[in-house]
Amino acid sequence: MDLIATTGQGKVRGRFHNGIATFLGIPYAAPPFGAHRFRAPAPVESWEGVRDALEYGPTAPKRPYRPPLDRLIPDPSIAGDDCLNLNVWTPSVGEGRLPVMVWIHGGSLRNGSANLPLYDGGAFARDGVVLVSVNYRLGVEGFGVFPDAPVNRGLLDQIAALIWVRDNIAAFGGDPANVTVCGESAGAISVAALMTSPGAAGLFRRAILQSGPPHTVSRREGAKTVRSMAKRLRIPATAEAFAAVDRDLLLDAQAAVVDRSDPIGGGPGFHIVVDGDVVPAAPPLPEADLLLGCNREEYRLWFVPGGTVDRISRLTLRLALLKIRVPQRVARLYRATRPHAKPGEILGEMATDLLLRGPLNRLADSRPARTFVYEFCWRSPVMGLGACHALELGFVFDNLRAAEDLTGPGAPQPLADAMHRAWVAFAATGQPGWSGWNADRPVMVFDHPGAGPVLAPRHEELGAWL
């Protein structure tokens, strides 16, 4: 059965099935091309009549993940310029007061989309939460740094989507005063930036950071990738010059520069930039309720499928530790607590703590008590991935069938029940079901069998970095 909802730009037609209404591909800003390319998002034009919102809209220009990640993380692309769009799942159309979750997808700010089957919001709608997922500009279009264009354009897109939610979500049964913005990986990094951005002030009440800490770079640092692309393309490093290049050639140059980098190993990439405007240099302490955490073995998504974990020898490990200036006492501690681990596993564990678990714990330390910390520990049997990056997504969305590329068949449904229930409770009330962060450092450990709070897990290792 079809349903009609009325937005500020016009009416949209969605589909109602099994108690859930779905609206797909609703534009929240004008197509970011032509006169709008490399510019801040512009208002979407109104339309007459009823606009179909029955299929996913176009995705931002991108290339697929490189092998072998492309087999583990499907990344569908839909052609079209109208890529600033969002999707809504709701149990109720019309005026309502249901909690709202706005999902910001990950993908290193150059991959991913809101259109992944994994991000289907049906389970949230089933449980009384309106789920909105957002497509935003990626790569050089969204996060390339130019002297003649605003920076953080992808982040500005996300703010425009949140403004759309504020102005329109009541028509989909949602409460604009009870919005939780949430994301994973680069989506979580985006959420952290939104928490401090003056442009996003008042647009959400709570935030969830999954496997992504606050991270920004200077304008100078952020411009390095654009300069490398410009050198390859033999053009000036300006938005005007880049706009004149065929889109496929631009994506080819982007892939050539950044595709061998990853969040753990580093390398050229795209970042959120401190610009003193959208992202202030000295952000105030955010007051939003906060749920944050990461997975026990984040590094394994990048280190294991391609064999990196086996190519790292003791000598390579020693040289890597010297390069990133890891103190000897820290290296000895990690070796002592993992006597049978491969050198690549030791390096990966340290990188996970240095880049993810440590910063997230420090963020929790810097905030009031309305902060809740989790760790996801269930280990996937697929390709030896263990408790790797992104594995928790199918459990959070209670959508294990769509997550089987990572989890394998038969992933534990009770764990999905527990994790999904905590996210729903946090969005509704700000309380996920365990104690807020305090001097005892309680962490909710999600595993199977069993899930429960643990006080200061592996505190000695985290403390060694201080």
- Known catalytic residues are 185, 298, 389
For every residue of the chain, which 3-state class applies, written as one string?
CEEEEEECCEEEEEEEECCEEEEEEEECCCCCCHHHCCCCCCCCCCCCCEEECCCCCCCCCCCCCCCCHHHHCCCCCCCCCCCCEEEEEECCCEEEEEEEEEEECCCCCCCCCCCCHHHCCHHHHHCCCEEEEECCCCHHHHHCCCCCCCCCHHHHHHHHHHHHHHHHHHHEEEEEEEEEEEEECHHHHHHHHHHHCHHHCCCCCEEEEECCCCCCECHHHHCHHHHHHHHHHCCCCCHHHHHCCCHHHHHHHHHHHHCCCECCCECCCCCCECCCCCCCCCCCCCCCEEEEEEECCCCHHHHCCCCHHHHCCHHHHHHHHHHCCCCHHHHHHHHHHCCCCCHHHHHHHHHHHHHHHHHHHHHHHCCCCCEEEEEECCCECHHHCECCCCCCHHHHCCCHHHHHHHHCCCCCHHHHHHHHHHHHHHHHHCCCCCCCCCCCCEEEEECCCCEEEEECCCHHHHHHCC
**Rounded to 5 degrees, what are φ and ψ at 407?**
-90, -25
The amino acid sitting at 72 is L
Tokens of 283: 């952000």
* CA 426/CA 145 separation, integer angstroms: 36
Omega cis (within 30) before 449: yes
Pairing outcome for strands 206-210 and 289-295: parallel
* CA 89/CA 120 separation, integer angstroms: 8
